[in-house]
């Protein structure tokens, strides 16, 4: 039996107030040692929830793929943006997350009436409501988190074919044992975040 989807409580408050296009925004990859931060913005139709939409971390990879497909089928609009590993280094991960979110919102075909964001406020986004643990409280944010995670996992799987030996197809660039073993054997790649790895690795890029 699947998990019950997060209620549309927050969205309904805005819908009743006359806001029609509500964008939920979330990211994936903040804590990864390699790869970009990926963000998604999802606008659902009024009263248009997605079955099984919960915090992406509570779902198996296969279930995330299924729900992401349902989100794309039912959403009014979906936008995806990213910030590269180099941007994470240059800006710090929090600001890079905000940049990825900003890019995701810009990929929407129109400007939403309001924006709901997981976590703390992001000054670069303008007016929005930041919800701590929003991916567990807000349906549209949970949908955005699922899309962001699925897109990022697919990207890291493709990069694993270019840079084998780090297990990115399984760990998505996070600091698992197989990833760190790969770093010890092979050293870092251009997709690793140097500020996350520390001084024990030599970079030649």
Kindly report, residue by residue over 2-57, the tens digit of the pLDDT. Answer: 688 999 999 999 999 999 999 999 999 999 999 999 999 999 999 999 999 999 99
How far apart, in whole angstroms, are the C-alpha atoms of residue 187 and residue 126?
Answer: 40
Nearest to 23 by CA among 66, 72, 75, 65: 75
Runs of H (alpha helix) within 85-138:
85-91, 93-106, 134-137
Query: pTM (2 decimals)?
Result: 0.94
Q: Are 125 and 98 in contact (CB under 8 A)?
A: yes
Which of the following CATH numbers is that of domain 9-154: 3.30.420.10, 3.40.30.10, 3.30.1360.10, 3.40.1180.10?
Answer: 3.30.420.10
pLDDT digits (tens, 9 = 90+) for 152-189: 999 999 999 999 999 999 999 999 999 999 999 999 99
């Amino acid at each position: 039996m699947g998990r019950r989807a997060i209620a549309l409580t927050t969205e309904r408050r805005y819908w009743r107030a006359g806001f029609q296009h509500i964008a939920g925004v979330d990211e994936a990859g903040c804590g990864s040692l390699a790869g970009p931060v990926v963000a998604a913005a999802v606008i659902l139709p009024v009263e248009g929830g997605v079955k099984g939409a919960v915090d992406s971390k509570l779902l198996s990879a296969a279930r995330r793929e299924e729900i992401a497909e349902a989100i794309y089928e039912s959403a009014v609009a979906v936008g995806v943006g990213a910030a590269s590993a180099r941007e994470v280094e240059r800006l710090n991960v929090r600001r890079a997350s905000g940049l990825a979110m900003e890019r995701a919102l810009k990929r929407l075909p129109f400007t939403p009436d309001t924006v709901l964001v997981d976590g703390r406020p992001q000054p670069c986004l303008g007016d929005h409501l930041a919800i701590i643990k929003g991916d567990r409280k807000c349906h549209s944010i949970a949908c955005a988190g699922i899309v962001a995670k699925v897109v990022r996992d697919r990207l890291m799987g493709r990069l694993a074919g270019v840079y084998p030996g780090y297990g990115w197809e399984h760990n998505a660039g996070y600091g698992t044992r197989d990833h760190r073993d790969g770093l010890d054997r092979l050293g870092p790649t251009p997709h690793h975040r140097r500020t996350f790895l520390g001084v024990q690795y030599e970079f030649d890029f």
